[in-house]
Amino acid sequence: MRTRYRIALAILAIAGTVFGWSAATRAQQVAAFTDQQATAGQSAYTQSCGGCHGRTLSGGGEAPALAGSTFMGSWGTHSTQELFTRIRTSMPPENPNSLSVDTYTAIVAFILKANGAQAASSALTPETNVAIASIANGQMPAGLMAAAGAPAAQGRGGRGRGGRGRGGDDDSTAPTAPRMGLTLPGSIKSYTPITEEMLAHPPDGDWLMHYRTYAGWNNSPLTQITTKNAVGLQLKWAWPLEDGMRQQITPIVHDGVMFVSTNMSNTVQALDARTGDLLWEHRLGPIGTAGQNATRTMALYGNLLFYPATDATLYALDARTGSIAWKNKMSEFPDDKIGGIMMAKDKLLVGVTRCNELDARNHCFIAGLEASTGKLLWKFYTVARKGMPGGDTWGDLPDDKRSGADAWIAGTYDPQLNLAFWGTGQAKGSSRDQRGPNGDALYSNTTLALDPDTGKLKWYFQNAPGETLDLDEVFERTLIDHGSQKTLMTVGKSGLMWKLDRVSGKFLDVKETVFQNVWASIDMKTGRTTYRDDILEKKPGEAVASCPSPSGGHNWQATSYDPANDLLLLPLSQNCAMYGGGPQLFYEMPGTDGNLGRLSAYETNTMRPVWSFQQRAPFLTGVISTAGGVGFVGDFDRTFRAFDVKTGKTLWETRLPTTAQGYPVTFSVGGDQFVAVPTGYNGGSPEQKPTTMLRGEIQRPTIGHGVYVFGLPKTVN
Amino acid sequence: MKTLTTWNVVRPKIRSVSDSSAWGWGPMRIKIKATVLLTVLFLMPLAAAEKYQVYLSPMPFTDATQPIMTGKGSASATLEGDTLSISGSFAGLSGPATKARLSLSRGPGIPGTPVVDLTLVGDVAGKVTGQIKLDPSQLAALRSRKLYIQIDSDKAPTGHLWGWLLEEHEIAGQDVPLKGPWFWPPFAVKTK
C-alpha cells in the first residue's frame, strides 16, 4: 500500500514537474512582445487608431472592437502574423501601409497586451507567428484600461490642442500648432433669421438643412439648370477644406451664405456662396484624433448655426459673426460622438453615437434641446434596458452589456403629425454570438417616431430584429404622401426598401433593391425578416457570407425624392463579404458583373423599378434632384455627374481632384442656380471596403478635402 | 409560402390565346387548334434549351491577399434535357490555374462544396468546359441559382475565381440606363 502510495506520489511529482516545465516553456514561447513595444504601441494606437476603434479598443461605428470577447471571437484562432498583416495592409484606412513596420508591430503588441497577453523579453516581429488565443484571453489589464480610457493627447502628431492664436492656450512646446478660436470674425449684415415657417417651407434658393426639407427629400424647386442646358455646367469656384479625418459634410446655404465645416480641427466657415470668399472662420477644436466621427450635419434656426463638434460638444454659433452663443457637451463618455442633428420647429434634436463602452452603463440616445438656449429638454435612450418596455428583448444580458442602436444619421420631421422619425444602428456586439441571447434587441435597427417636444415614443417598427451582420437600418426616413396615405420610406444596408404608414408605424411593403442573400424569408404581412439558417447558427469565430457586405447596399449616401415623377433615387453599393471570422473578406456581388456602384430609381407609389445604371466605381455622395428634372451624384473615381431624373441618362460629368464624397446641394444667389459637391476621403465603410477591391485599379489621392461649386455660363443665364 | 416576385427571371414566354373569337374560326376548330397550340406551347419550355451565364470574379480576399486574387472570366451554360454544357474562359490570374469544378452552395455568393470536376486548359489564362448530366436535385439546384464554377490556382489553391450560373440576363451599364425591371438573383422568400 505504502509502495503504491509512493509510486502515485512519484507519478504526481513527475507530472507536476513536467506540467510546470511545460507551462513555463509555453509562457516563454508565447510571450511575443516587450513592454516597451506595447507602450510605444499604445501611443501609436491613440494617435492613429483610437479615433475609430475607441480609446478603450471597444470599437465604434464601423470599426470593430480590438479587445474583449468580440475581438477574441473574431481573431482568437488567427495568428499574430495575420493580425500584423491585416493592420499593415489596411490601416489607417485612408492610407494603408503608411506607418513604419516598427509602429505597426508596436500597435499589434499593444492590442495583444490589451487582451491580456503578458509581455516578455523577446520582441514581436512581423514574422512572429503565434496563435492569438494561445497568448491572450480578451481580459484587458485594469491599469491599461484606465490608461486607455484617459483623455488622449489632442492634436495631430502629439501636438497640444492649444495654439498661439486667439481663443487658444499658449503652448510653447508646439510651435507649429495652428491658430484656434474665432480666427476671422464676421459681420454679415443681410442675414435673415430662420423662422419655423422657413424651416417648414424653405426659400427656393436655400438649402437650410441636411436633407433640405423636413421630409428628407433632397429635392430643390430650382429650375434654371435643366436637362437641356446641364451640359454647359462649369466650375464657378472651389474651396479647400482642412485635410485629415473624415469628410462627409453637407454644405448648408441661406441668404447667399454657405456654411461648411471640417472635423480635423472642428473648424466652421461661412463663405460667400456666389464667389467662395471667406466671411468668417471659427476654429473650435479639438484637433485630430478625437475627430474620427464624420460631421455630416449642421442646422440653422434664428440667427444661430448649430455645429456638432467631434468631442460631442454641440455649438451654437452666431451665423452672422461666428461667435459662440452657447455650447452643450452632450456626453462625458470619451468615445461618444454626435451622429446627426436636425431642427423640428424650435427644438434641436441630437442623435448620439459610438456609445459602445461596455461595462460603463453608456447608452446611445436622441435628445431634444431648446434651440435658442441649448437647454436639454429630454433624452430618449435607444437601448431598452431591464424593466423598460422592450427590455426583455435582450434576454438576460445585463444592462451594461447592452450597447449599440447608435443614432448616427439625422432624422426627418412631419410638422402636421408633430413627429420626428429616426433610424438606429445595429446592436453591439454586432453579432448574435457576441451578444449571447438571440432576442430582437430593441431599439436597434428600428424606425422610431418621437414627439419632438417630449421625446415620447409614439410608435416604432424594428426593420431588422436581432440583427447580426452589421447591417444597419439607420439611414434617412423619407416622408412621402400618396393621396391621404402618409408613408415613410427607408433603405437599410441590406438593401431592403421599406414603406411604412408613418401615422401608425404599420408595415406596408418592402422591396429588395440590390441582390441580398442574408434574408431567407420576409413576412409580407408584418415585414418581419428571417435570416438564413447558417447565419442564425453561426458560432464565434466562424465566418458567414453576407451580400451585401457590412459596407451596405445602401449607406449614409442619402436618397433623393423627386415629387414630379414620384421617384426615389437610390445610390447603391454592390459587394459582399465573409463576415465574423476574423478579417472581413470582400468579393464582388453575384449578378453585377463586377459593378460595385448602382444608381436606381423607384416609383414610390407602386414600388416599381423604373431605371437603373451601374458602374465599377461605387457612389460616395448622396443624390439630389431638382424641379429642372436634373439629378446629381458623385463617385469614388472622382466623377461628379448630372443625370436626367426621368431616365437616368448622364447629361454632364466632370472629374474632381479626389473622390466626390459628402452631400451635394443646390442653391441660388442673385437669380443664378449653383450646385455644390464636397470632395474627400475617409468616408467610412462605403469608401474603405471597395478600396480593397479597387486597389491598383482606381488611383486617387488621399488628400483633397474641399467643396466645388458649378453653375451655368453667363450666356445661358 | 411563395417565391419572391420573379419578374427579373428570363423564361420562355407563353402568349395569351384568350381572345380566340378574333381569329374568325368555328368553335370546334378553335378547340382543336387551341389544344394543339397549347400542347406545343406547354412542351416548348421542356424542349427549349435553358441558357445560363456566369461572371467569374475573384474569391473573397483581404488587402493582404488582394495582389494574388487577380483575374476574371466568363462562361455560358446550356441545359438541354438533363445535360448541362459549360464553356468559359478566364485571364489575368496571378498564377497558373490548377483545377476547375462545378460546386453547390446555398445560393449566390455563399461558399459551398464541389460537385464535379470540369475540364481545364491553360495557365494564367485559359478555358474551362464541361458536360454534366444533372440528377433531379442538381437540376433543381441549377434553377435555384445554387451551382457555381470555381477555378483554383497555384497561388490560391482553395479558390481563385468563382461565379454562379444565373439565367441569361441583360446587364445595366453606365450611360446606358436599363429600364426596370432589371436583373439580380432573387433569394428571399416572401410569406404571408
What is residue A529's predicted lDDT score, i.e. its pLDDT? 96
Hey, are the CB atoms on B64 and A609 less than 8 Å from each other?
Answer: no
User: How far does the CA of residue B38 sit from the closest CA of chain A (Å)?
Assistant: 31
What is residue A155's predicted lDDT score, i.e. its pLDDT? 35
What is residue A126's predicted lDDT score, i.e. its pLDDT? 87
Show residues of chain A in contact with B192, CB under 8 Å: 523-525
pLDDT tens readout for residues A213-266: 999 999 999 999 999 999 999 999 999 999 888 889 999 999 999 999 998 899
Over residues A184-199, mean pLDDT? 97
- Decide: A318 and A325 in contact? Cβ < 8 Å: yes
CA A196/CA A344 separation, integer angstroms:
8
Q: What percent of chain A has pLDDT over 70?
A: 88
Which one of B7, B110, B162 would you mutate to disrupt binding with A, by most A Cβ within 10 Å of its Cβ?
B110
Q: What is the DSSP annotation of A207-235?
A: B-STTSSTT---EE---SS-TTTGGG-EE
Residue type, position A560, single letter: S
Name the one residue in this structure whose C-alpha cell is 502628431.
A157
Hey, are the CB atoms on A614 and B173 less than 8 Å from each other?
Answer: yes
What is residue B37's predicted lDDT score, i.e. its pLDDT? 57
User: How far does the CA of residue B123 sit from the closest CA of chain A (Å)?
Assistant: 23
Over residues A69-98, mean pLDDT? 78
What is residue A360's predicted lDDT score, i.e. its pLDDT? 64
pLDDT band at A98 (very low <50, low <70, confident <90, very high): confident
- In 3-state terms, what secondary structure has residue A98? coil
pLDDT tens readout for residues A51-81: 667 777 877 656 777 887 777 777 787 888 8
CA A73/CA A70 separation, integer angstroms:
5
CA A260/CA A276 separation, integer angstroms:
11
User: In this complex, is the C-beta atom of A520 within 8 Å of any C-beta atom belonging to chain B?
Assistant: yes
pLDDT band at A91 (very low <50, low <70, confident <90, very high): confident
pLDDT tens readout for residues A461-491: 999 999 999 999 999 999 999 999 999 999 9
pLDDT tens readout for residues A410-450: 999 999 999 999 999 999 877 888 887 679 999 999 999 99
pLDDT tens readout for residues A595-608: 999 999 999 999 99
- Decide: A285 and A332 in contact? Cβ < 8 Å: no
Query: Residue A151 pLDDT more than 70?
Result: no
pLDDT tens readout for residues A549-599: 999 999 999 999 999 999 999 999 999 999 987 778 999 999 999 999 999
pLDDT tens readout for residues B74-99: 999 999 999 999 999 999 999 999 99
Containing H/E element for A433? helix A432-435
What is residue B175's predicted lDDT score, i.e. its pLDDT? 66
What is residue B69's predicted lDDT score, i.e. its pLDDT? 93
- Decide: A462 and A448 in contact? Cβ < 8 Å: no
Query: Residue A717 pLDDT more than 70?
Result: no
Which one of B76, B174, B178 would you mutate to disrupt binding with A, by most A Cβ within 10 Å of its Cβ?
B174
Nearest Cα to Cα of residue B56 among B143, B119, B148? B148
- Decide: B145 and B164 in contact? Cβ < 8 Å: yes
Residue type, position A652, single letter: W
What is residue B36's predicted lDDT score, i.e. its pLDDT? 57
Which of A332-341, A391-400, A663-672, B176-185 shows the highest mean pLDDT? A663-672
Nearest Cα to Cα of residue A628 among A221, A223, A204, A232? A223
CA A589/CA A602 separation, integer angstroms:
21
CA B33/CA B17 separation, integer angstroms:
11
What is residue B17's predicted lDDT score, i.e. its pLDDT? 30
What is residue A129's predicted lDDT score, i.e. its pLDDT? 86
pLDDT band at A30 (very low <50, low <70, confident <90, very high): low
Hey, are the CB atoms on A524 and B190 less than 8 Å from each other?
Answer: yes
User: How far does the CA of residue B8 sit from the closest CA of chain A (Å)?
Assistant: 11
Show residues of chain B in contact with A590, CB under 8 Å: 55, 108-109, 163-164, 166, 185
CA A191/CA A341 separation, integer angstroms:
22
For A88, which residue in chain B has the nearest alpha carbon? B64
pLDDT tens readout for residues A540-553: 888 999 999 999 99
User: In this complex, is the C-beta atom of A13 within 8 Å of any C-beta atom belonging to chain B?
Assistant: no
Over residues A636-643, mean pLDDT? 97
For B172, which residue in chain A has the nearest alpha carbon? A613
Hey, are the CB atoms on A516 and B188 less than 8 Å from each other?
Answer: yes
Exposure on the CB side of residue A431, measured as CA atoms within 13 A: 27
Output the nine-digit C-alpha cell for A530: 428571417
Q: What is the DSSP annotation of A101-158?
A: HHHHHHHHHHHHHHTTPPP-SSPP-TT---BGGGT--S---HHHHHHHHSPPPPSGGG
User: How far does the CA of residue B140 sit from the closest CA of chain A (Å)?
Assistant: 17
Output the nine-digit C-alpha cell for A549: 457586405
Q: Which residue has the higher pLDDT, A81 or A655?
A: A655
Which one of B175, B178, B184 would you mutate to disrupt binding with A, by most A Cβ within 10 Å of its Cβ?
B184
Could you say which of A522, A585, A593 has the minimum Cβ distance to residue B61? A585
**Mean pLDDT for chain A overall:** 87
User: In this complex, is the C-beta atom of B6 within 8 Å of any C-beta atom belonging to chain A?
Assistant: no
What phi, psi does A434 have (nearest 5°)? Answer: -85, -30
Output the nine-digit C-alpha cell for A687: 469608401
User: In this complex, is the C-beta atom of A331 within 8 Å of any C-beta atom belonging to chain B?
Assistant: no
CA A424 to chain centre: 12
User: In this complex, is the C-beta atom of B2 within 8 Å of any C-beta atom belonging to chain A?
Assistant: no
Query: Residue B21 pLDDT more than 70?
Result: no
Over residues B37-62, mean pLDDT? 77
Containing H/E element for B74? strand B72-80
User: How far does the CA of residue A543 sit from the closest CA of chain B (Å)?
Assistant: 11
Query: Residue A533 pLDDT more than 50?
Result: yes
Hey, are the CB atoms on A515 and B184 less than 8 Å from each other?
Answer: yes
- Decide: A674 and A710 in contact? Cβ < 8 Å: yes
pLDDT band at B35 (very low <50, low <70, confident <90, very high): low
What is residue A462's predicted lDDT score, i.e. its pLDDT? 98
Which one of B3, B57, B63 would you mutate to disrupt binding with A, by most A Cβ within 10 Å of its Cβ?
B63
Name the one residue in this structure whose C-alpha cell is 407602386.
A606
pLDDT tens readout for residues A684-704: 889 888 788 898 899 888 899
CA A396/CA A439 separation, integer angstroms:
10
What is the pTM assigned to this prediction? 0.84
